[in-house]
A and B are shown apart, each in its own frame.
Chain A
Amino acid sequence: MNQKTSFSSAYGWFIQRITGILLAFFLIVHINILHFGEKFFIDFNMVTERLQGSFWWGIFYIIFIPVVLFHALNGVWGLVQDYRPSSGLQKTVKAFFWTLGIVATFYGILAITTFL
């Protein structure tokens, strides 16, 4: 038994579960508001109205963005591992996913905060 292994995969697995539970809540709210709201169609005005109307909607999406990105990218990372990539490729893919996740989170938050 080698002991060099870390517990990072344990935390990845755990956070995947937590974000999964949060997503269930976020998605119910998100889909409900977009598709079953008062208005039948979705347009830019509707989004602007909602985000400018309430500080809490801003907070909702600022949390929603990193949660969904972590869950999605970590899920794809799990699938990638099923194909047994070499350790070099694993590192590259992991770095790519982290970069993509961080950039997309900042971009998303920036987009949300411009409305607030």
Chain B
Amino acid sequence: MVEFRVFRFDPEKNKEPEFQSYEFDPYKGMTILEGLYYILENLDSSLAFRSSCREAVCGSCAMHINGIYRLACKTQIEILKSPITIRPLSHLPVIKDLVVDLTPFFNHFKEIKPYLIPKESPPEKEYIQSVKEREKINDWLDCILCGACYGSCPVCAQDDKYLGPHALLKALRFVDDSRDGGAKERIAFVTQNSGVFRCHTIFNCREVCPKDLDPTKAIAKLKLKAVFKKF
């Protein structure tokens, strides 16, 4: 038997959030997401949560599970101690139960212009990128925009204007891309008041990232690039 203590809140109906307990027999290898689906299908059809790929690719199932932000589809029940407490991502308005409004998160992402900006004189046919140039961005590519880093960051909690680890990591991904012509513009943007220098190097983002990325390192690199104007 396992007990799930799930955060429940419907802003239209409830004044205060509460935790609701569900008990069931998990099978071997059952994930938290499968557990939530079990509850939805067998115990309580009113439970709301997000998911899509079920294989740690889409980033939609990030939530706070037994004290750590994780992907529900990538976390097996048997590695956790029951009762398993599940809350939504922090610092974002709750729409219902485990579903949060990701608008601020994606707005910050859009702000850094997450696409290649053409160089002044683009090549006639295509940009050629060498293996070495490609390797430079290897460490920043795999972000699935799950929001775990954003939820875990105390600076995001205090300042909704702070760009957040996800947006800053993506900014470096484009700054370091040999095909991008917007490095100067991006660095100027991330050095604004709510940019890289608001980061207190707390390392939470690095600790929780389900794709083992290191936003803290990316932010440190952006800081140095801003100081030495190396871009």
Contact = CB atoms under 8 A, between A and B. Distances in A.
A7 B158 contact: no
Contact of B227 (A3, A5, A11, A82): A11
Contacts of A5: 188-189, 191-193, 195
Given A2-B192, A3-B189, 9 more contacts: A1-B188, A1-B189, A5-B195, A9-B195, A9-B197, A10-B197, A81-B193, A82-B155, A84-B161
User: Which range holds the interface residue count of chain B?
Assistant: 20 to 34
B191 A10 contact: yes
A25 interface: no
A14 interface: yes
Contacts of A12: 197
A60 interface: no
Among B112, B159, B185, B197, the one with the most A-chain Cβ atoms within 10 Å of its Cβ is B197
Contact of A9 (B113, B155, B193): B193
A2 B188 CA distance: 8
B227 A1 contact: no
Interface of B: 111-113, 155, 158-159, 161, 185-186, 188-189, 191-193, 195, 197-198, 223, 226-227, 229
A57 interface: no
A10 B159 CA distance: 19
A13 interface: yes
A13 B189 contact: no
Nearest to A2: B189
A85 B40 CA distance: 44
Contact of B188 (A3, A13, A82): A3
Contacts of A9: 191-193, 195, 197
